Chain A
């Protein structure tokens, strides 16, 4: 049997599409503030829910979130997981903690890292604050925050953070 006759089990045919991605005008306003070290959420004019990071609309009400709401970089852990498996391309060495961060005054949470604490001590409701990179490294990204670290404040009962029904 010659090489040409050998049945082929599979064939690789990588495809590639290039895009010029835009964040949207609302997220652009947010990222411009992040570049300056500020976290500015956006509120729904109808239900008053505060979104961070904002995507430009309130998915509950279907209206633009055009009210800017400056927020602190403090909040609490809404939920977390300990990652034990290395992810290709990710420079962080396991085990490490990914958490849903609920900033004070916000109605939604976002993912970020928790560091500077024993993993066993991390718990839902724990108070945390952003640890920023040096100012000269700031870009249009939430990666300006290296991670969140615990602060010496009493835990929050996350049940009190639930969305109020309209």
Chain B
């Protein structure tokens, strides 16, 4: 496999409601910041790939409008995933592997504030047959949380700890949306949304955007002294039929762990795309991260831009390794109900 590095990442401050700012106006500042930080421009980019969800905007092919945020003259090579931008990064990685590109710009954007996110994600995700069943994302997550609690794989105390720590860690994240701290009695006084999940167990409605640039080994050092290498990347999918899944584990995630040989790597940090509190102790257990500082950025519970939060997990891992001179980081991105898709990214610093 060709060596590929992350050379830059930028994130828009996460907003509760971006108001009049449209998607293009959210994307432009992060792309420009990234270019300015590296001293490069669109002419230095061989391939551009975005991640977004047209249902969020409520318009077919809405993602095409997003391209107005970047320079497209002279004409560029570009693509889009109707997924989190972590998968735009995956596609860009493949483009570089195939020899079609040496550098790639990735960006993701999402405004959840204009619509009913539960209904929107239901329409995007529900593999319905005759008509929509309208299961909402929180209720689906609650089904998995219930299974995990019932089988003593996680505890309610771990969920509480996750929520308290996420807010405490928000101090490490200048773009965090939720920064107020909570204690145990605050947590237990919140009413259930879908039991066992109350609204503190769930991520906030968030608007924002993020961008990243990756480059081949040949190009990376042209642009930065501190590339962070993508040592391993693996994406696998559980069945789309929820009834066919064992929600207490993830066979596909285990396969990814074996593929990337994670058992033999001592990780310094991890950032998980865990939108609900029960997912943190569950994934930490599956990934054997009990002793690894996890979601020091606060993670999605303190700001969850749809179609960006997965890319943000990779970006925050990159920033953490770069800023703290750490060696190994693990990033995780997910999509679909109950952690159906999982992508693992092993990042490494090399001298």
Instruction: State whether A24 and B71 are in contact (beta carbons under 8 Å apart), knowing that A13-B132, A18-B116 are contacts in the complex.
Output: no
For B21, list chain A residues within 8 Å (CB). 22, 24-25
Interface of A is mostly: loop
For A18, list chain B residues within 8 Å (CB). 115-116
Q: Which of A59, A60, A61, A63 neighbours the largest number of chain B CB atoms within 10 Å of its CB?
A: A59
A22 touches B68 (CB 8 A): no
- Complexed CA–CA distance, A25 and B120 (Å): 24
Which residues 127-161 of B sit at the A interface, judged by CB distance below 8 A?
A: 130-132
Which residues 25-40 of B sit at the A interface, judged by CB distance below 8 A?
A: 25, 28, 31-32
* Interchain CB contact (< 8 A) of A57 among B42, B69, B113: B69
The contact size tier of chain B is 20 to 34
Which residues 80-136 of B sit at the A interface, judged by CB distance below 8 A?
A: 113-116, 119-120, 123, 130-132
Distance in Å from the Cβ of B84 to the closest Cβ of chain A?
Answer: 20
Distance in Å from the Cβ of A63 to the closest Cβ of chain B?
Answer: 7
Instruction: State whether A17 and B25 are in contact (beta carbons under 8 Å apart), knowing that A57-B69, A60-B73 are contacts in the complex.
Output: no
- Complexed CA–CA distance, A15 and B42 (Å): 40
Distance in Å from the Cβ of B208 to the closest Cβ of chain A?
Answer: 15
* Interchain CB contact (< 8 A) of B25 among A15, A24, A62: A24
For A23, list chain B residues within 8 Å (CB). 20, 22
- Complexed CA–CA distance, A63 and B20 (Å): 18
CB-nearest residue of chain A to B26 = A24
Which residues 1-26 of A sit at the B interface, judged by CB distance below 8 A?
A: 11, 13, 15, 17-26
Does B243 interact with chain A (Cβ within 8 Å)? no
Instruction: State whether A62 and B114 are in contact (beta carbons under 8 Å apart), knowing that A21-B58, A26-B25 are contacts in the complex.
Output: no
A62 touches B31 (CB 8 A): yes
A28 touches B68 (CB 8 A): no
| Chain A residues engaging chain B, CB cutoff 8 angstroms | 11, 13, 15, 17-28, 55-64, 166
What are 25 inter-chain pairs, A to B, with CB distance below 8 A?
A11-B131, A15-B123, A15-B132, A17-B115, A17-B120, A17-B123, A18-B116, A20-B115, A22-B20, A22-B21, A24-B20, A24-B21, A25-B22, A26-B25, A55-B24, A55-B65, A56-B24, A56-B68, A57-B24, A57-B25, A57-B68, A61-B71, A62-B28, A62-B72, A64-B28
Top 9 nearest A-B pairs (CB, nearest first) are A24-B22, A13-B131, A62-B71, A60-B73, A59-B68, A62-B70, A19-B58, A19-B115, A25-B20
